[in-house]
Amino acid sequence: MLISRNPSTEEIITEVSPLSEREQEETIQRAQEAFDTWRQIDIEERARLMQSLAAHMRKHQQRFAELITEEMGMPISQSQGEIEKVAWEAEYYAEHTARFLAPDERDIGARESYVRFDPVGVVLSIAPWNFPFYLGLRAAIPALMAGNTVLLKHASNMPRIAQTLEQAFEAAGFPTGVLQNLAIETRDVENIIRDERVARVAVIGSERAGRSVASIAGDEIKPQVLELGGSDPFIVLEDADVKLAAQNAAKSRFRNCGQSCNSAKRFIVMEEVFEEFLTELHKEVKKVALNDPFNPETTLGPLATYGGLEEVERQVNESVEQGAQVVTGGDRAPRKGWFYQPTVLTGITSTMPVWAEEVFGPVAPVMAVKSEEEALHQANNTRYGLGASIWTQDDERAKQFIPLLEAGNVYVNSPVRSHPHMPYGGVKKSGYGREFSEYGIREFVNIKSVVFK
């Protein structure tokens, strides 16, 4: 059974029975049959439908935002922003796909030679719960614009939102079967990946999920795009605008209750400004409003799952046992629901769970370093490599760091964010492949060389 609970009240919202084997077969076959037609629809018509989807998202922004807030606990003001990001991505690919997939002519001395980009077929998109609309469609939108059809396997605790996403495509006018909600349990995913009608797999999720999917898809020799975990370093050099850095540190770390792959998770601060940064960060934490996520003034809601709450609690407790010092927070909030207090820790060593592991919750471990070399070492001292941010008023100094940072995204004087115009993805255990821009849509095509002699 696929069950969603309200993380603020701990009450069951809805229960959905997973598809039977026969229903799974029918769903895949509909996707295959829809592909045979959808691939022949010109890009201009696909773009018109995608613009219609963007308009539908904006029209129903408040209702969709409320679904997010109820089903996973994101503060309502942030949920509204998530719906806008879905519309933004849909419009972006509607506008640019024709250029991204236009034949690329090459001069090799033949009568005619070029590279073309053809759809591959049925794409399985496995989506997480932490941004259920935005991440639910981040791979699906370019895959569809490229002419593929999509099976959306959403997180098991998001069954109502998964149904809503399928209904949104129907309401926007997309043909039946182009995007379908694949309501299955995790144990059924392997059979779907191995189905010969499924051509590509896209995963946004944990390292464990990526490892499992990559193993199965690799055995079937099927390409994958993996956007997995992150433990992004936030490097504050001594010439930084410390107040600005602290404001953005809090904004990045506590957004969506710290449940974002690309949020800053490890704070590396030069000794010269360590105390100043800590003071400013503490001020920002005091501004965090932990409350009912439907309250428009709330900035920190509950964690989305009880298991997530227990994991954050374990990571903090074990780190404190190893010598970490609690500056603020460090415990559950004294109220019903899966709330955890915004937490700042110092006295950090690289073996503590809050540093060595990805912490998916509102916890900021802050480490003092003595040199740029030590800062770089600690930044790269992780199995993840999704993003990194550098805070300095010297651009040339930042440019010396950038090529040495083991990350797919580096931002200077800004938190790491995803942006449709820029390729997005990681290295090391953060996955491979890219989303967004022309790099992202070309993950879902057959790059075909054509030569006329």
- For residue range 305-325, list pLDDT tens digits in order: 999 999 999 999 999 999 999
CA geometry: angle 225, 230, 231, nearest 5 deg: 165
Residue with tokens 């997180």: 155
422 confidence band (pLDDT: 50, 70, 90): very high
Average pLDDT over residues 253-271: 98
**DSSP-based three-state secondary structure for 432:** strand
Average pLDDT over residues 335-343: 97
419 confidence band (pLDDT: 50, 70, 90): very high
**DSSP-based three-state secondary structure for 114:** strand
Q: What is the mean pLDDT of the chain?
A: 97
pLDDT at 191: 98
pLDDT at 376: 98
Residue-wise pLDDT for 90-116, tens only, equals 999 999 999 999 999 999 999 999 999
Q: How do beta strands 384-385 and 427-428 pair?
A: antiparallel
Query: DSSP string covering 305-320, please?
Result: -HHHHHHHHHHHHHHH
pLDDT at 403: 98
| Helix axes 61-72 and 159-171, enclosed angle (nearest 10) | 160
Average pLDDT over residues 434-445: 98
81 confidence band (pLDDT: 50, 70, 90): very high
Q: How many percent of the chain have pLDDT more than 90?
A: 100
pLDDT at 360: 98
132 confidence band (pLDDT: 50, 70, 90): very high
pLDDT at 399: 97
Residue 359 has what DSSP assignment? -
Cα→Cα distances 312→10, 21, 271, 332, 353, Å: 18, 36, 27, 10, 10
Active-site position among 70, 257, 261, 280 = 261
d(CA 365, CA 383): 17
208 confidence band (pLDDT: 50, 70, 90): very high
CB neighbour list of residue 277: distance below 8 Å, 6 or more residues apart? 236, 242, 245, 246, 249, 267, 269, 366
Q: Is 257 one of the annotated active-site residues of the chain? A: no
Cα 110 to chain centroid distance, Å, stands at 44
Which H or E element spans position 2?
strand 2-5
d(CA 125, CA 1): 20
Active-site position among 70, 166, 207, 227 = 227
pLDDT at 421: 95
pTM given for the model: 0.97
d(CA 126, CA 131): 13
Domains and CATH numbers, the chain: 2-228+430-452 (3.40.605.10), 232-412 (3.40.309.10)
pLDDT at 57: 98
343 confidence band (pLDDT: 50, 70, 90): very high
Q: How many CA atoms lie within 13 A of 161 on its CB side?
A: 33
Burial (CB < 10 A; 0-12, 13-18, 19+), residue 42, is exposed
Residue-wise pLDDT for 159-184, tens only, equals 999 999 999 999 999 999 999 999 99
pLDDT at 186: 94
154 confidence band (pLDDT: 50, 70, 90): very high
Judge whether 301 and 75 are in contact, CB under 8 Å.
Answer: yes
Query: DSSP string covering 153-208, please?
Result: E--TT-HHHHHHHHHHHHHTTPPTTSEEE----GGGHHHHHHSTTEEEEEEES-HH
Cα→Cα distances 446→105, 217, 406, Å: 16, 17, 29
Query: Which structure tokens are listed for 324?
Result: 């970490």
Average pLDDT over residues 356-385: 98
Determine the longest span between alpha carbons in the chain, in angstroms: 75
